[in-house]
Structure 1
Amino acid sequence: MTPSKPREVFIQGLTKDGRTFRPSDWAERLAGAMSCFRPGGTTGGPGAFIGYSPYCVPRVINGVKCVIVNEALREVEIMAWDFVMNFARDNELQVTEACLLPETPPKRSE
């Protein structure tokens, strides 16, 4: 039996009644708060860098700010998973389970 790929949850910057969620930088703030949860844990010192966790990344999809949360975050830290999911619920944001497809380079015309 093959292990299933962790699913991704898209927290959209739209409330359940269709309004745009504010502040406008909410996705970057939420993803920034989750930046320390990464594969292998955090590294401090001179080799440390600032960046988003691969488990929780902000994106703009079809003009809507989103945060894509990988279910693997639940295995790394259940409280972090609960935090982002409760954030979405408390702010009545639309949540969709989906899979982000990698961008494909444009085809060259010959």
Structure 2
Amino acid sequence: MADSTKPKIVAREFFIQGVTSDGRQFRPSDWAERLCGVMSCFRPEGTGGPGAHLRYSPYVRPTVLGGVKSVVVNEALREIEPLAFHFVVDFAKDNDLQIVDACLLPETNEKLA
């Protein structure tokens, strides 16, 4: 049974979107998968094991937001490997990609009418 008195730790994340600051789509089209593939070795301790190199890191993972290829970056990567974190951020800056803070909505059991 979960302890409801413990505060939930909220992940701090941001998105790197595959759109430059002037609105152009970033190329190559598989940039997000390539970047996440390079970062796949960075993961929580004890979650490696056989085949770990075939999965994306939970700290840097590809996604699509509003039809735009993007990468979700968890700021916990900064604690685990600061150089890897700076590599990802510098990649976005060097390629003039938009960086957007994630907006997490609270979980609810209510259904919307």
Bin for the TM-score computed over the shorter chain: 0.7 to 0.9
Shift of 1:61: 1.0
The 1:91/1:18 distance shift into structure 2, 3 A limit, reads: same
Identity %: 63
2:76 to 55, 72, 75: 72
2:24 to 16, 19, 25: 19
* Equivalences, count: 100
Question: Any runs of at least 4 consecutive aligned residues in structure 1 with deviations exceeding 4 A, and if so which?
Answer: none
Which letter maps to 1:48? G
Verify the 8 A CA contact 1:7 1:99 in the aligned structure 2.
no
Shift of 1:4: 5.6
* TM-score normalized with structure 2 length: 0.79
* TM-score normalized with structure 1 length: 0.81
Task: State the distance in 2 between where 1:96 and 1:90 align.
Answer: 16
Unaligned runs of 5+ in 1: 102-106
SS, match of residue 89 in structure 2: helix
Q: How does 1:1-80 map to 2 (within 5 A)?
A: 5-40=10-45, 43=48, 47-49=50-52, 50-80=54-84
1:86 to 85, 90, 99: 90
Task: State the distance in 1 between where 2:14 and 2:81 align.
Answer: 16
Unaligned runs of 5+ in 2: 1-6, 106-110
Which letter maps to 1:12? Q
Task: Give me the CA root mean square deviation.
Answer: 2.2
SS, match of residue 67 in structure 1: strand
